[in-house]
Amino acid sequence: MESILSFKQVSKRYQSGDFWNPIKAQALKQVNFDVTRGDVFGLIGLNGAGKTTLMKTAVGLLRPDEGDVRIFGKSPQEIETRRRFGYLPELPYFPKYLSAWEVLLFYGRLHGITGATLRSRCEETLRLVGLWTAAKEPILRYSKGMQQRVGLAQTLLHQPELVFLDEPMSGLDPLGNKEMRDVILGLKAKGTTIFFNSHILADVERICDRVGIMHHGKMLKVENVAELILGFASNVTLGLGSVSDTVLKKVKAMRLSMRKENRIWTLDVPHKKLSDILARLKKAGLSQPSVLSYGSPLETAFLSLTAEAVHA
Amino acid sequence: MRETWLIGSNVFRQLLRNRILVVLFLFALSVVGVAIFLGDLGQEAEVRLSRDFGLLSIEGVGFFTVLLCNVVLLFEETELKTISILFVKPIRRWHYMAGKVLGSTMLLLMNETAMVGLLWILARWRGLEGVIDLSFVIAAFYLFLSGVLFSIVAVFFTIYASTVPACAVYASFTYGLGHFTTNLLEWVMRMDQPLLAKLVKVLYYLIPNFSLFSLKDNLVAIQLLLVGSKADYYAMGGDTTILTGPGSSAPYIWPLFYLLFYGSALLLISLWQYERKEY
């Protein structure tokens, strides 16, 4: 399969603080992965994992300190490359006194689309994202969800081969969320390559073919969704409640997937090992752990992998 | 060029919807108010004050228009990520920057033309002769050029300042200082302080010289230049530093070169910084 987006040993650092005392934060650490044509690739990670930095680096808004990013085998900075992809940033903003129609006409012209083709493309795209009836109203009157749709419309207007969507579902109500999902699935059906990040793991699970899990700037795993969730399909999350340090030490020594959430220690346990682990916990002095959730398979996989990275 | 024009016209449209009509409306109101207030003065004094007040208003409105266009809107775009959408489109960053300056220049031109037109209508309405003549139009045109330079200065500061108020303060301070560098240099040259004179000279060349474009005080002199001679200009006490400036002997040639070279240099530095900036 043809690789149309590739990250090779990409690292990125941010500098903040005072100029005499700079603080450097590593946002991306030697990230490697490829996205092949037709893929729907989902990027997931906790807040601050580096997802948005990675996406901005992919589209050329940020330059990597080390490594190389290629889209269609070329630099994302090249004009010809930019003609072939679309990008929706998280919570996009548009000039409030212009209408969605005017905004699309402007972006369309920047892509070199003109005349009747431009007008029909704008209409088609606005209908696709469900904004046609409000197309001529100033954006000032749009809700957050409607602005998100304008963002999606400008991303799709020039019919890109590769689409980057940064949290496309944020700001949308449940119906809007479903409609956005349908649009993405429609693009997938047409063969458009989609790269998106989301906090909503259920959406990633439903839409994506492949998924990348990021943590503290590292790409922990890139895997087919089906293969990834297979091993975690029946995980159970156990809450340990208030435990003494001695008990906690014993549980930690069992080297299970553990994490602390809202001051409560939790364990992710594969269902088939549940009875065995319950017995070991009992032996360690913990007789009644509570079952917090069965979790979605992807959620379980994600939490387990990030917890492993924390303890590593 | 096509991309620059597209961005410039979009900026113009955006600004036209945004604030400019309010600014023009306020200006119209103030001019009408002053014209009525001046009603009790004699004809000659009324004409002179109308011209001075008209030019002052044009300069003031131009200043605020540039500040709003370039400082506030540019920051809004950066803060609210509109710029991220634009910078992944098939355009170069210089298209964006040149488009911004073009858009605000178009607005400035429209704004100042409308103000001159409005003043002309009011003068006709009040039956005043000689308020708007060629010398007034020339002085207004140089204020427009000063606005273009200020627009470039404002874009430059948006790169370095981290907030809207900071950027507005830097740009306004430079604008104010830029009106006094010639006087400051003359004053220091008269003192016996070579080190200070050198320092001020460096500042004189670094800070944009807006006083070059303020011809409103020399309207009579310009009138004389248009119909008379350079000697008449000196006799009227015209600004000799302008006339003896490099490249030209006329007060209306040198500012054009200055804008071209100083403006281009500042624009190039801004562009260099823009290319390095990450969003």
| Residues A96 and A219 grouped into a single domain | yes
Q: Worst-scoring range by mean pLDDT, A226-235, A262-271, B131-140?
A: A226-235
Average model confidence (pLDDT) across chain A: 84
pLDDT of residue A7: 93
Q: Do B3 and A110 touch (CB under 8 A)?
A: yes
> In A, which residues are within 8 Å of B96 by CB distance?
none
B278–chain A nearest CA distance, Å: 5
Q: What is the CATH number of the domain that holds A245?
A: 3.30.70
Q: Residue A126: is its pLDDT beyond 80? A: yes
pLDDT of residue A194: 93
Residue B180 pLDDT grade (very low, low, confident, very high; cuts 50, 70, 90): confident
| Residues A8 and A156 grouped into a single domain | yes
Q: Residue B203: is its pLDDT beyond 90? A: no
Q: What is the mean pLDDT of residues B182-197?
A: 76
| Residues A151 and A91 grouped into a single domain | yes
Q: Residue B250: is its pLDDT beyond 60? A: no
Residue B222 pLDDT grade (very low, low, confident, very high; cuts 50, 70, 90): very low
Q: Which residue has the tokens 């050329």?
A: A60
Of residues B61 and A7, which shows the higher confidence score?
A7
| Residues A190 and A51 grouped into a single domain | yes
pLDDT of residue A96: 82
Q: Do A111 and B81 touch (CB under 8 A)?
A: no
Domain that holds residue A140: 3-229
| A229 CB neighbour count, 10 Å cutoff | 20
Residue B148 pLDDT grade (very low, low, confident, very high; cuts 50, 70, 90): very high
Q: Is the pTM here over 0.80, yes or no? A: no
pLDDT of residue A253: 82
Q: Which residue has the tokens 């507005």?
A: B168
Q: Worst-scoring range by mean pLDDT, A161-165, B3-7, B32-36?
A: B32-36
Q: Give the whole-number percent of chain A exceeding pLDDT 70.
A: 91
Q: Residue B204: is its pLDDT beyond 90? A: no
Q: Residue A139: is its pLDDT beyond 80? A: yes
DSSP structure class, residue B214: -
Q: Do A79 and B80 touch (CB under 8 A)?
A: no
Of residues A20 and A135, which shows the higher confidence score?
A135
Of residues B278 and B220, which shows the higher confidence score?
B278
Q: Residue B225: is its pLDDT beyond 60? A: no
pLDDT of residue B42: 65
Q: Residue A97: is its pLDDT beyond 60? A: yes
Q: Residue B46: is its pLDDT beyond 90? A: no
Domain count, chain A: 2
> Which of A65, A85, A94 should we substitute to test contact with B (largest number of B Cβ atoms within 10 Å)?
A94
pLDDT of residue B36: 57
| Residues A221 and A246 grouped into a single domain | no
> In B, which residues are within 8 Å of A92 by CB distance?
81-82, 85
The answer to whether B13 contacts chain A (CB < 8 Å) is yes
pLDDT of residue A160: 93
Q: Which of B10, B81, B90 sits opposite A82 (nearest CB)?
A: B90
Of residues B18 and A78, which shows the higher confidence score?
A78
The answer to whether A97 contacts chain B (CB < 8 Å) is yes
Every domain of chain B and the residues it spans? 2-276
Nearest CA in chain A to B11: A95
Burial classification of residue A168, based on how many CB atoms lie within 10 Å of its CB (0-12 exposed, 13-18 middle, 19 or more buried): buried
CB B180 within 8 A of CB B203: no
Computed on alpha carbons and rounded to an integer, the radius of gyration of chain A in Å comes to: 22
Average model confidence (pLDDT) across chain B: 76
Q: Do B89 and A111 touch (CB under 8 A)?
A: yes
Rounded Cα distance, A235 and B246, in Å? 81
Nearest in space to B98 (alpha carbons), one of B8, B2, B159, B6: B8
Specify if A180 maps to a domain.
Answer: yes
Q: What is the mean pLDDT of residues A281-300?
A: 71
Among A229, A252, A285, which residue terminates a domain? Answer: A229
pLDDT of residue B123: 79
pLDDT of residue B24: 63
> In B, which residues are within 8 Å of A85 by CB distance?
88
Question: Which residues 6+ apart lie within 8 Å of B89 measured at CB?
Answer: A82, A107, A110, A111
Computed on alpha carbons and rounded to an integer, the radius of gyration of chain B in Å comes to: 20
| Residues A117 and A131 grouped into a single domain | yes
| Residues A132 and A79 grouped into a single domain | yes
The answer to whether A174 contacts chain B (CB < 8 Å) is no
How confident is the model over A203-262, as pLDDT tens digits?
888 888 888 989 888 898 888 877 776 666 566 777 777 778 888 888 888 877 787 777
CB A82 within 8 A of CB B88: yes
Specify if A310 maps to a domain.
Answer: no
Nearest CA in chain A to B13: A98
Q: Worst-scoring range by mean pLDDT, A213-217, B44-48, B153-157?
A: B44-48
The ipTM estimated for the assembled molecules is 0.74
Of residues B59 and A159, which shows the higher confidence score?
A159
Rounded Cα distance, A201 and A43, in Å? 10
